[in-house]
Amino acid sequence: PQVGDAYARMRIPRLGDGWEWVVVQGVGVADLRRGPGHYPDSADPGEIGNVAVAGHRATYGEPFAYLDTLQVGDEIFVERGGREYRYLVTESFITVPSDTGVLLPVPGQQGVVADEASVRLTSCHPRWGSTERLIVHGELAGSTTVPSAQNQASGVSEGAVT
């Protein structure tokens, strides 16, 4: 997908029964105004490596407003290309905004080749500030095929919104 296009659909049950967002491709200002954004140079859902997604906590719909409430073992679902990937939260932590190592294929390890599929959600911290970054990390726990009708209804495919 092109920057700004619908990329995937994300659900995080801990954030509420109705918490579901379309993730766009890209993390620029215009992209994040539409919802969470996939870092284009990061892995795709289900792939070996790190799927990295950024989102606002206090503006533009506040998709990650309560990201700090996630706990180890919570589920993060990412649907793309006819599959739904289930990640389990393994940790969350606070870091400085300049810590781009959290986005590497193996977070924090420059030049290391990934051998696991993971997800990283990033947002500003504290909620009403931007002096730090909140990072939530999860590991792939499985995936299922999304029935064709449901996949079409979700509006998320390999390309743009249908």
As annotated, the active-site residues are: 56, 124, 133
Question: Which residues, including other chains, have CB under 8 Å from residue 147's CB and lie 6 or more apart?
Answer: none
User: How many Cβ atoms from other residues are within 10 Å of residue 16's Cβ?
Assistant: 10
User: How many Cβ atoms from other residues are within 10 Å of residue 51's Cβ?
Assistant: 26
